[in-house]
Copies of this chain bind each other. A is one copy, B any other.
Amino acid sequence: MKASQFLISTLKEAPADAEVVSHKLMTRAGMIKKLGAGIYNYMPMGLRVIRKVEAIVREEMNRAGAIEMTMPVVQPAELWQETGRFEKMGPELLRIKDRHGRDFVIQPTSEEVVTDVVRQEVRSYKQLPKNFYQIQTKFRDERRPRFGLMRGREFTMKDAYSFDRDVASAKASYQVMAGAYRKIFDRFGLTYRAVAADSGAIGGDLSEEFQVIAATGEDAIVYCPTSSYAANMEKAEALAPSQPRGAATQALTKTATPGKSTCEDVASLLNVPLSTTVKSLVLATDTLNDHGEIVKSQVWLLLLRGDHDMNEVKVGKLPGMEGGFRFATLTEIEDHFGCKPGYLGPLNLKKPVHLVADRDVAVMTDWICGANEEDFHITGVNWGRDLPEPALVADIRNVVAGDQSPDGQGELAIERGIEVGHVFYLGTKYSKAMNATFLDETGKPQFLEMGCYGIGITRLPAAAIEQNHDERGIIWPDAIAPFTVVICPIGMDRSEAVKQEAERIYTALLADGVDVILDDRGERPGAMFADWELIGVPHRITIGDKRLKDGQVEYQHRRDAESSKVAVADILGHLKGRLAP
């Protein structure tokens, strides 16, 4: 490609609404152009990146035995009504009426449609397993779209769906996909982690997120540097402390803590470690009748160490929480504790509550909690002596760095990531809702076992940039760079020698299958270099008249601090040594 035949359109300033670096740089590098909130044109430079991402994904999906098809962007509501998602999904599901007033949606995913296809196509166990995927436009009407391609409304996703005859086979299909995802993410050339994720109501361990590591990532990732353990924050287990509870040493004492309503304030006032305090979180669960009216509410008291945070996913799995929970109302709190929030605790309750102690709280001695009296806390609290042993002890907190790894192989560390892929065992959730069956060897209909597997095709470039950039712009890995190599001739219009050498190297690289762009725009060197550093092409060859007279050109990798002089005769070999394998 010659630059004069392409659209190179860089901007000095990032758009005012760009909050994250990938959004800023993709806009400034002319890769995307906003059309509306969360809706972007993929400009020529950006589309080249997206196409390379697609090609890698397609190749590895095919290699893993998945079969490509496409499902419509605009889908009739009927199938979505079969699973109930047409009603259950919130306004992020974009609903449409056609000219005849019939309901449609724009697909955010395609479980319904693919299950409908398979229930028609697959009749016998002999046709299984099957895995269908598509690379297709999706739409989610986010309430507050932002961060450019990171959280757009219209986006491209690769979604795959596996269909199997039984759980064992479904798990094998899941593992094939998880393996393909590792190959895909390896090929992208990004630092990533596959982390165990919560599989929600489905149960089992078959859910992993593929997280591109980046300091700006929205997700906290937990991993063990000395083992292979990795999970997202929702999933990562906090083990029960290995050391037993010590003996009580302090007397129970009511202490004035006027205006100190947080654990931090109390610890500071009393000059004790935050980890000696216990915070009280009051939740509630409701029992509904057939009309959806609340007939009974239960109040829960969750105790967590002052330096720990509640993990809502773990709390949602407590026995009795299956139907969901909410924070208690002020009325409920005062009714049970006789006190406002800020000074709550498990002692001197007005009415009984369901008490849950976090594993760490259960082994504490001489701890501090609210006195259920405004401006007072109690110190020297001890289980068994001052209150009964907790009826329910559970892991209800987020892990913190330094916690023991659940695999016992070291301590946990935490970093940030951007979720770009997800593999998920679905079980029979959709096949049951849509009566998608096959006949087994005995001729008996069985529900299909399913898995689903997504990759955010248009999100990936944004994640790559969050991980790989500097103050000058983007730094693409070779595999997904819009161009692998840029040739920058200086004064091409003045020097025939420069022009000839530029064309010679350009032609040689093209013949070698290298994705190269020759910048023949005639820009000044400073502007030209700034453009390509912003755009982030990883390899640059600069050809100038002066050096060329000495038989040299310059090579610079986007990560190199300086360019190196290379003999003209060696430049192709030198470049080859620097290209990603």
Residues of A within 8 A of B (CB): 5-7, 9, 33, 35-36, 39-44, 47, 65, 67-76, 78, 91-92, 94, 96, 98-99, 104, 106, 113, 116-117, 120-121, 130, 132, 137, 139, 141, 143, 153-154
Interchain nearest-CB distance for A74 vs B (Å) = 5
Query: Is there an interface contact between A39 and B154, defined as CB atoms closer than 8 Å?
Result: no
Given known pairs A36-B76, A98-B94, A141-B99, the reply for A44 and B67 (CB within 8 Å) is: yes
Interchain nearest-CB distance for A438 vs B (Å) = 14
**Chain B residue with Cβ nearest A98:** B141
Query: Is there an interface contact between B35 and A113, defined as CB atoms closer than 8 Å?
Result: yes
What's the Cα separation between A121 and B92 when bound, in Å? 32
Query: Is there an interface contact between B43 and A139, defined as CB atoms closer than 8 Å?
Result: no
What's the Cα separation between A153 and B73 when bound, in Å? 11
What's the Cα separation between A120 and B99 when bound, in Å? 34
Interchain nearest-CB distance for A327 vs B (Å) = 26
Query: Is there an interface contact between B75 and A35, defined as CB atoms closer than 8 Å?
Result: yes
Query: Is there an interface contact between A6 and B67, defined as CB atoms closer than 8 Å?
Result: yes
Query: Given the complex, which residues of B lie within 8 Å of A44, measured CB to CB?
Result: 67-69, 132
Query: Is there an interface contact between B70 and A47, defined as CB atoms closer than 8 Å?
Result: yes
Known: A35-B76, A36-B78, A41-B72. 16 other contacts (CB 8 A): A6-B67, A7-B67, A9-B121, A33-B117, A35-B71, A39-B74, A41-B69, A42-B70, A44-B68, A73-B139, A74-B139, A91-B99, A92-B99, A94-B96, A96-B96, A99-B143
Query: Is there an interface contact between A69 and B96, defined as CB atoms closer than 8 Å?
Result: no
What's the Cα separation between A380 and B358 when bound, in Å? 109
- Listed from nearest, the 9 A-B pairs whose CB atoms lie closest are A36-B76, A91-B99, A42-B70, A44-B67, A39-B72, A99-B141, A44-B69, A96-B96, A72-B154
Query: Is there an interface contact between A154 and B121, defined as CB atoms closer than 8 Å?
Result: no
What's the Cα separation between A139 and B67 when bound, in Å? 25
What's the Cα separation between A269 and B75 when bound, in Å? 58
22 pairs, CB–CB < 8 Å, chain A vs chain B: A6-B67, A7-B67, A7-B121, A7-B130, A7-B132, A35-B72, A35-B116, A36-B75, A39-B72, A41-B70, A41-B72, A41-B113, A42-B69, A44-B69, A73-B154, A74-B154, A94-B96, A94-B98, A94-B99, A96-B106, A99-B141, A137-B137
